[in-house]
Chain A
Amino acid sequence: SQQGEEDPQALSIQEGENATMNCSYKTSINNLQWYRQNSGRGLVHLILIRSNEREKHSGRLRVTLDTSKKSSSLLITASRAADTASYFCATDRVGGANSKLTFGKGITLSVRP
Chain B
Amino acid sequence: DAGITQSPRHKVTETGTPVTLRCHQTENHRYMYWYRQDPGHGLRLIHYSYGVKDTDKGEVSDGYSVSRSKTEDFLLTLESATSSQTSVYFCAISPRDSYEQYFGPGTRLTVT
Please report A residues at the B interface, Cβ cutoff 8 Å: 2, 30-31, 33, 40-45, 48, 88, 92, 97-106
Q: A48 and B48: CB pair below 8 A?
A: no
Nearest 10 pairs of A and B residues by beta carbon: A42-B103, A105-B42, A103-B43, A45-B100, A99-B97, A43-B103, A98-B50, A30-B98, A103-B42, A92-B98
A contact residues around B43 at 8 Å (CB): 43, 88, 103
Contact with A along B39-54 (1 / 0, CB 8 A): 0111111001010000
Please report B residues at the A interface, Cβ cutoff 8 Å: 1, 31, 35, 40-45, 48, 50, 56, 58-59, 90, 92, 94, 96-106
Find the B residue at minimum CB distance from A50.
B98
Q: Determine the distance from Cα of A101 to Cα of B50 in the docked complex, in whole angstroms.
A: 13
Q: How far is the CB of A58 from chain B (nearest CB, A)?
A: 12
Q: Determine the distance from Cα of A105 to Cα of B50 in the docked complex, in whole angstroms.
A: 25
Q: Determine the distance from Cα of A54 to Cα of B30 in the docked complex, in whole angstroms.
A: 29
Q: B105 and A42: CB pair below 8 A?
A: yes
Q: B100 and A43: CB pair below 8 A?
A: no
Q: Determine the distance from Cα of A25 to Cα of B82 in the docked complex, in whole angstroms.
A: 32
Q: B104 and A98: CB pair below 8 A?
A: no
Given known pairs A43-B43, A88-B43, the reply for A99 and B103 (CB within 8 Å) is: no
A contact residues around B105 at 8 Å (CB): 41-42
Q: A101 and B101: CB pair below 8 A?
A: yes
Q: A42 and B98: CB pair below 8 A?
A: no
A contact residues around B45 at 8 Å (CB): 100-102
